[in-house]
């Protein structure tokens, strides 16, 4: 399994990543911590969300839920994020002391929101132990599963409620260029990257990719071609020119990212 997955999740512990460099590793999606309990706001989320989106990474957020006051916690989460229509919101269900009524109450608040939110539950052993092999019809109909289980083999999950996991956090000790001095959670999506971007995007509609910057400079390259030796010039994998002859050939080549 790749150490550079297409989806990561972060909080303030990862600081302020260089998302251009993160995207260059093949990351196309990122889930960011927004809130916890009824008062904590992740101080890095707003800036990171803007910067990641500008780098072409699709994003959504999660709330670390604590035992009790589930409705107030979700109201707080909604007030901080102020989601757009169809936005995906994640309930991080892992703290000791949580019970299924807490989770059900939280989901009900998000699903009652008139903006038609998409709801995902993040959990590992806690939810599996509480659900067992039974099917909770409400969770099955209104949520999908982001599984947390660190194993190199086949994971296990509460399949009675969720026949399939949607996202699997398989490591908490990954390394991603652009995120320094800390480990990163790595995730695998049950589908390809295009499906992942649609899943994490509001209403399942992928955002437009940022336009490629126009070349701001021109690099002049001089080539001395010996007699009867063919010369094929490519820039960033694209063929620019093919010349033959004894004369010096002078080509004007637009500056590309690999020539910086």
Does the residue 210 lie in any domain?
A: no
The 3-state DSSP class for residue 85 equals coil
- Clarify whether residues 51 and 156 are in a common domain: yes
- Clarify whether residues 254 and 177 are in a common domain: no
Q: Does 144 score more than 70 pLDDT?
A: yes
Q: What is the CATH number of the domain that holds 132?
A: 3.20.20.80
Does the residue 62 lie in any domain?
A: yes
Residue 2, pLDDT score: 47
- Clarify whether residues 100 and 229 are in a common domain: no
Q: Does 166 score more than 80 pLDDT?
A: yes
Between residues 204 and 68, the one the model is more confident about: 68
- Clarify whether residues 76 and 197 are in a common domain: yes
- Clarify whether residues 142 and 62 are in a common domain: yes
Host domain of residue 133: 7-204
Residue 167, pLDDT score: 98
- Clarify whether residues 83 and 138 are in a common domain: yes
Residue 251, pLDDT score: 45
Q: Tens of pLDDT along 201-254?
A: 998 776 666 555 555 565 666 666 677 677 666 665 565 555 544 444 444 444
Q: Tens of pLDDT along 77-88?
A: 999 999 999 999
Given pLDDT bands bounded at 50, 70 and 90, which one contains residue 61? very high
Q: Does 155 score more than 50 pLDDT?
A: yes
Given pLDDT bands bounded at 50, 70 and 90, which one contains residue 70? very high
Single out the residue of 84, 37, 83, 30 nearest to residue 54, CA to CA.
30
Between residues 217 and 20, the one the model is more confident about: 20
DSSP run (H or E) holding 49? helix 45-54
Single out the residue of 238, 156, 202, 169 nearest to residue 1, CA to CA.
169
Rounded average pLDDT over 34-42: 98
Q: Which segment of 109-123, 157-171, 225-239 scores lowest on mean pLDDT?
A: 225-239
Residue 114, pLDDT score: 98
- CA distances from residue 11 to 8, 15, 173, 207 in whole angstroms, order as listed: 11, 8, 14, 23
Which residues lie across from 247 on neighbouring strands?
none
Residue 254, pLDDT score: 46
Given pLDDT bands bounded at 50, 70 and 90, which one contains residue 133? very high
Burial track 197-235 (b if 16+ CB lie within 10 A, e otherwise): bebbbbeeebeeeeeeeeeeeeeeeeeeeeeeeeeeeeb
Q: Is the dihedral of CA 64, 68, 72, 75 positive or negative?
A: positive
Q: Does 260 score more than 50 pLDDT?
A: no
Between residues 85 and 152, the one the model is more confident about: 85
Q: Rounded to the nearest 5 degrees, what angle is found at the Cα of 240, between the Cα atoms of 234 and 244?
A: 95
- Clarify whether residues 254 and 195 are in a common domain: no
- Clarify whether residues 159 and 251 are in a common domain: no
Rounded average pLDDT over 177-183: 91
Q: Does 72 score more than 90 pLDDT?
A: yes
- Clarify whether residues 199 and 228 are in a common domain: no
Rounded average pLDDT over 175-192: 94
- Clarify whether residues 126 and 230 are in a common domain: no
Does the residue 2 lie in any domain?
A: no
Residue 123, pLDDT score: 98
Does the residue 95 lie in any domain?
A: yes
Domain count, the chain: 2
- Clarify whether residues 200 and 225 are in a common domain: no
Per-residue tokens: 103: 């989770």
Single out the residue of 37, 49, 118, 117 nearest to residue 74, CA to CA.
37
Rounded average pLDDT over 4-8: 87
Q: What is the mean pLDDT of the chain?
A: 87
- Clarify whether residues 145 and 232 are in a common domain: no
């Amino acid at each position: 399994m790749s150490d550079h997955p297409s989806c990561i999740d972060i909080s303030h512990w990862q600081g302020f990543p260089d998302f251009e460099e993160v995207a260059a590793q093949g990351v196309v999606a990122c889930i960011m911590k927004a809130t916890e309990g009824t008062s904590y706001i992740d101080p890095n989320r707003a800036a990171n969300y803007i910067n990641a989106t500008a780098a072409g990474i699709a994003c959504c957020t999660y709330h670390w839920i604590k035992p009790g006051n589930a409705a107030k916690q979700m109201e707080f989460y909604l007030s901080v994020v102020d989601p757009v229509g169809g936005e995906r919101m994640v309930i991080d269900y892992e703290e000791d002391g949580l019970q299924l009524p807490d989770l059900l109450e939280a989901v009900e608040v998000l699903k009652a929101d008139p903006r038609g939110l998409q709801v995902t539950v993040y959990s590992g052993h806690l939810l599996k132990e509480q659900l067992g092999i039974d099917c909770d019809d409400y969770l099955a109909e209104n949520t999908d599963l982001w599984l947390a289980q660190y194993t190199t083999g086949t994971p296990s999950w509460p399949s009675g409620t969720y026949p399939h996991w949607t996202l699997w956090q398989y490591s908490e000790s990954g390394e991603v260029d652009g995120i320094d001095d800390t480990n990163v959670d790595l995730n695998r999506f049950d589908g390809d990257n295009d499906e992942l971007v649609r899943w994490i995007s509001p209403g399942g509609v992928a955002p437009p990719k940022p336009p490629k910057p126009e070349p701001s400079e021109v690099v002049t390259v001089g080539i001395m071609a010996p007699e009867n030796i063919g010369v094929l010039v490519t820039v960033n994998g694209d063929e620019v020119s093919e010349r033959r002859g004894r004369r010096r050939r002078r080509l004007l080549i637009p500056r590309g990212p690999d020539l910086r």
